[in-house]
Amino acid sequence: MKKYEDLVNYIIRNVGGKENITDVTHCVTRLRFKLKDESRANDEALKANDGVITVMRSAGQYQVVIGNHVPDVYAELTEKLDLKNKSAAEPAKKMSFKEKALDLISGIFFPSLSILCACGMIKGINTICSFAGLYGAESDFYNLVNAIGDSFFYFFPIVIGFNTAKKLNMNPYLGLVIGAALCYPTIQDVDLHILGMNVNVNYTTTVLPVIITCFIAAPIERFLNRVIPDVIKSFAVPTVVLLISVILGFVFIGPVVNAVSAVISQSLLSLYGMSPVLAGIVFAALWQIFVIFGIHITFIVLCIINLSEGNPDPLLASQVFVAFATSAVVLAIFFRTKNKSLKSTCIPAFISGIFGITEPALYGITISRPLMFAVSCIGAGLSGALCGFFGFKYYQMAGLGLFELPALLPAEGTGAVLTKAIMVMIITFVFSFVLAFLLYKEDKTAEETETKTVTAGQSGIASPVKGTVIPLSEVSDDAFASGALGKGCAVRPSEGKVYAPFDGTVLVMFPTGHAVGLVDDNGCEVLIHIGINTVSLEGKYFTKHVNIGDHVKKGQLLVEFDNEAIKKEGYSTDTIVLVSNTKDYASVTCTDASETDAGSLLITAAA
């Protein structure tokens, strides 16, 4: 069996099946789905799988965060899907202008971003080896290795042309040739007299000219495919498209776009120059928030534009050490917590964070602990201030975490910059670790969950709602019905009020109010999920009365919901009640009664 086959099958099933997927791509840590109907995706089921860190809905995409092995999962996923044969007549999902813009940026830049980073790493490693005296900067070996790293950037228009053409649904090889023509060596930086104009430009290492030229070429290709006879279409269409688009791009579009690109680049650098320290603080402190909302990709693109213009980028350099602040906070939590489950989560999250993959730490640990998330942002802000103070700049794209350090290394003065970078890394890590270690407070119940074993007896779980009791197997959701998320039962509510099933603490309160998780004083963890797929209502018809961390008494009102209005929207209001840590109990049994009142015994969990 293939390594990720079970995970891939699980993901496909819980994003609504193959027929619900119109496209899928991936970035460094996430599968990025385009779904016909996002309401068919089961967020909770996906999050419950150990192979999934979290799910997000952003930029018109349904994003399943996997971690740094996402390319392997993606490779297996594409074998299961046959997207190329999906009907072109399928209606496209409506997206806002912002979603379309971010989707376009992702489609153009993300497919080649990992190779771009690899080439940057090669340039950085070459610089370090030369500085260490392994070989000279004038040696032929240095030049060869440097050529490997430089090649991607030098011929970047070819790669970007290919990606842009694919995104615009035109022949991708047309985009490739447009990029190749724009950076053809013998017409760079020379006077060309064309159509009565003198043109002297250089398109190697550029980004925007080839993108705009492809935008011109795409409608031309679509028009010609409609009017040119099929017998000559295969060669006539690309001939005309290339002649028109490349001439327009080289002579008219390119010079204007290059000028605009230079203005954007210089404006950003000037803004940073007003106060490098302040800019570094703000940018680095907010970087994790940018990641959460998926808008960090815009800054990556701006950095690529700067680098393509020959301008080292200071903004992206400010976030290099954010991963170390987050990792330090996770390590501090590891040493302070007594919760064995949390400890086991901290180890892989810390290791991933050191190598720049912060999603496991962010979504699995810090974001649900606001104080610790704030500490990681403060530590990140300190790192940004130091980056601004030392004048760090991004000289080439590189890897993540430790492997991002080569991005900061200039061709000259490598040793001084490397020394300062290591110093900033250590300061950031130590500061964030100490602050998190001092401020971390274990939730009292979380401690008791580990110290009080269930051998003390059994936990009685009262019904949180009034209504008809139904077996879990009859719930219209496979993830719940299978018992994969825990044992329990469901109640078909007759009124829209959810009460605490025992004395305990609120561990989870979804922003939409459709689900709440609690733990009692003996460590019994219960999930109450109101309705099926009701997360799609985005909080409509739900009113929350408690927050994460609140200690509640049995019978205390947790959530109110409009039972009839939700059903009129087409959603089931069957309320699932699960013992989410079922594995800690010898048995989990439900009442034999067909009807229940809120407060009546519903489930018994026995050690």
Residues labelled catalytic: 27, 529
Please state, in angstroms and rounded to a whole number, the distance separating the CA atoms of residues 317 and 308.
16
Nearest to 421 by CA among 353, 323, 321, 327: 321
Let me know: does 182 contact 160? Beta carbons within 8 Å. no
- Extract long-range pairs of 291-297: CB within 8 Å, 24+ residues apart: 291/358, 291/359, 291/362, 292/56, 292/362, 292/367, 293/58, 294/56, 294/58, 294/59, 294/63, 294/102, 295/102, 297/27, 297/102, 297/105, 297/106, 297/109, 297/110
Helices 156-167, 97-109: inter-axial angle, 10-degree rounding: 130
> How many other CB atoms are found less than 10 A from the CB of residue 492?
16
Q: What is the DSSP letter of 581?
A: T
Please state, in angstroms and rounded to a whole number, the distance separating the CA atoms of residues 248 and 230.
26
Residue type, 217: A
User: What number of residues does the chain have?
Assistant: 607
- Cα dihedral sign for 9, 11, 16, 18? negative
Between the alpha carbon of residue 255 and those of residues 192, 202, 212, 492, the distances in Å are: 13, 9, 12, 66
Let me know: does 293 contact 58? Beta carbons within 8 Å. yes
Return the bridge partners of 64, or none: 31, 55
- Give the DSSP per-residue string, 455-511: GG-EEEEE-SS-EEEEEGGGSS-HHHHTTTT-EEEEEEESSSEEE-SSSEEEEEE-T
Between the alpha carbon of residue 363 and those of residues 82, 358, 368, 510, 584, the distances in Å are: 31, 8, 7, 14, 24
